[in-house]
Amino acid sequence: MRTYPDLFGGETPVAEPVSVLSYASVKIRLHYRRAEGREKCGNCAHRVTHRFGKNYHKCQLLGDTRSSATDIRLSHVCDEHSYGERERP
């Protein structure tokens, strides 16, 4: 991991850029697809919603950035779906 010196003489790690291609490859690896059953991103414990004028749905496993590349659809699902604490339908 690369670092750069900060104002206090310490070393601060530099965030590595993540390409849009890597998000796409994670979606492929987790078989992110249109849901056919009751299990959907909409009722998954890994979904988070950010509200900035409108709702932006993200997945904690796929990645959560401000880029539209990490947006998920509530009507989709992947192999890592989990109800967690959310209510089952």
- For residue 48, how many C-alpha atoms fall within 13 Å in the half-sphere facing its CB? 11
**In the stretch 29-68, what mask flags binding to ligand SF4 with x, by CB under 6 A?**
---x--------x--x-xx-----------x-xx------
Q: Name every residue whose Cβ is closer than 8 Å to that of residue 85 and which is 6 or more positions away in sequence.
A: 45
H-run or E-run covering 9: none
The interface mask with ligand SF4, positions 2-31, x = CB under 6 A, is ------------------------------
Beta bridge partners of 56: 50
- List residues binding ligand SF4 (CB under 6 A): 32, 41, 44, 46-47, 59, 61-62, 72, 77-78, 80-81
